[in-house]
A and B are shown apart, each in its own frame.
Chain A
Amino acid sequence: MHSVITKETPSDAKDGHAPMRARLRFKLPANLLLLPALVATFVAGAFVSPVFLNPSNIVDNIAGSSAPLALLSLGLTLILLTDNFDLSLQSTVGFAPMLAGLLMVPSEFGGVGANLNPFLGFVIALVLGAGIGAFNAMLIVKVGLNGFMVTLSMLIVVSGLTLGFSNGRTVSPLPDSFTYLGNTHWLGVPVSVWLVGAISLVIGGFLRYHRIGRSIYAIGGNLEAARASGISVDRIRVGVFVVGGALAALGGIVISGITSAVTANQGNNMIFSAFAAVVIGGVSLQGGKGTVLGVLSGVLLLGAITNVLTLAQVSSFWIDAIYGVVILLALLVGRIGGKGHV
Chain B
Amino acid sequence: MTHVDLSGPPALQATGVSVRFGKTVALDGATLSVQPGEVHGLIGRNGAGKSTLVSVISGLLHPHSGEVRFSEDVAPKAGHVGAWRTHIGTVFQKPMIARELSVLENLFLGAPIVRGAGVVDWSAMRERATSALQEWGIAVDLDAAAGRLTIGQQQLLEILRIMMLGPKVIVLDEPTAKLGRAEAIVLMEHIRLLRSRGISFVYVSHHLNEVLEVCDTVTVVRNGKNVWTRAASDITVPDLTEAMSGGAVSFAGVIDGTRGRTNGAPRDVLQVRDLTTSLLDRVSFAIRPGECVGLAGLKGSGNQEVGKVLAGLAPPRSGVIQIEGKPVNATKVRTMLDAGVGYISGDRHFDGFVPGMSITDNLAMAVLKRVSRFGFVDERRRNQMVSAITAELDVVASSPAQQVASLSGGNQQKVVLGRALASRPKLLVLDNPTAGVDIASRESLFGAVAAACNAGTAALIISDDEEELKRCGRILVMVGGRLSTELAGGSSDSTIMAAMSEGN
A interface residues (Cβ-Cβ under 8 A, vs B): 1-6, 8-12, 14, 209-212, 214-215, 217-218, 221-222, 224-232, 288-289
State A165–B377 Cα separation when bound (angstroms). 46
Within 8 A of A (CB), among B230-259: none
The answer to whether B364 and A214 touch across the interface, beta carbons within 8 angstroms, is yes
The answer to whether B353 and A2 touch across the interface, beta carbons within 8 angstroms, is no
CB contact under 8 A between A8 and B409, given known A215-B368, A229-B419: yes
Which residues in A have their C-beta under 8 angstroms from that of B407? 9
State A4–B51 Cα separation when bound (angstroms). 11
Which residues in B have their C-beta under 8 angstroms from that of A1? 46-47, 51-52, 436
The 8 Å CB contact of B365, one of A9, A212, A226, is A226
Which residues in B have their C-beta under 8 angstroms from that of A10? 405-406
Give the interface centre of A2, A217, A218 by most chain B CB atoms within 10 Å: A2
The answer to whether A8 and B412 touch across the interface, beta carbons within 8 angstroms, is yes
A-B contact pairs, 11 of them (CB 8 A): A3-B61, A5-B21, A211-B376, A218-B357, A222-B355, A227-B351, A228-B345, A228-B352, A230-B333, A231-B365, A288-B356
Let me know if B408 is at the binding interface, CB within 8 A: yes
State A202–B247 Cα separation when bound (angstroms). 64
The 8 Å CB contact of A289, one of B24, B356, B361, B372, is B356
The answer to whether A225 and B368 touch across the interface, beta carbons within 8 angstroms, is no
B interface residues (Cβ-Cβ under 8 A, vs A): 19, 21-22, 24, 26, 46-47, 49, 51-52, 55, 60-61, 311, 313, 333-334, 337-338, 343, 345, 349-357, 361, 364-366, 368-369, 372, 375-377, 379, 405-409, 412, 419, 423, 436
The answer to whether B352 and A225 touch across the interface, beta carbons within 8 angstroms, is yes
Complex: chain A residue closest to B423, CB-CB? A230
The answer to whether A224 and B350 touch across the interface, beta carbons within 8 angstroms, is yes
State A9–B348 Cα separation when bound (angstroms). 14
CB contact under 8 A between A221 and B372, given known A6-B21, A9-B409, A228-B313: no
The 8 Å CB contact of A221, one of B55, B356, B419, is B356
State A214–B351 Cα separation when bound (angstroms). 17
The answer to whether A225 and B365 touch across the interface, beta carbons within 8 angstroms, is yes
Least CB distance from A188 to B in Å reads 34
State A10–B349 Cα separation when bound (angstroms). 14
CB contact under 8 A between A217 and B334, given known A2-B19, A209-B376: no
Known: A8-B412, A226-B354, A288-B356. 12 other contacts (CB 8 A): A2-B47, A2-B49, A5-B24, A9-B408, A10-B405, A10-B406, A209-B376, A217-B361, A218-B357, A218-B365, A225-B351, A288-B354
Least CB distance from B375 to A in Å reads 6
Complex: chain A residue closest to B313, CB-CB? A228
Least CB distance from B317 to A in Å reads 21
The answer to whether B51 and A218 touch across the interface, beta carbons within 8 angstroms, is no
Complex: chain B residue closest to A209, CB-CB? B376
State A211–B338 Cα separation when bound (angstroms). 17
State A11–B403 Cα separation when bound (angstroms). 11
CB contact under 8 A between A228 and B361, given known A1-B436, A3-B61, A12-B22: no
CB contact under 8 A between A230 and B350, given known A1-B51, A212-B375: no
Which residues in A have their C-beta under 8 angstroms from that of B47? 1-2
Least CB distance from B330 to A in Å reads 13
Give the interface centre of A3, A5, A10, A228 by most chain B CB atoms within 10 Å: A228
* Across the A-B interface, the 8 shortest Cβ-Cβ residue pairs: A224-B351, A221-B354, A211-B368, A229-B366, A230-B337, A1-B51, A222-B354, A229-B365
Least CB distance from A84 to B in Å reads 16
State A1–B419 Cα separation when bound (angstroms). 25
State A54–B334 Cα separation when bound (angstroms). 56
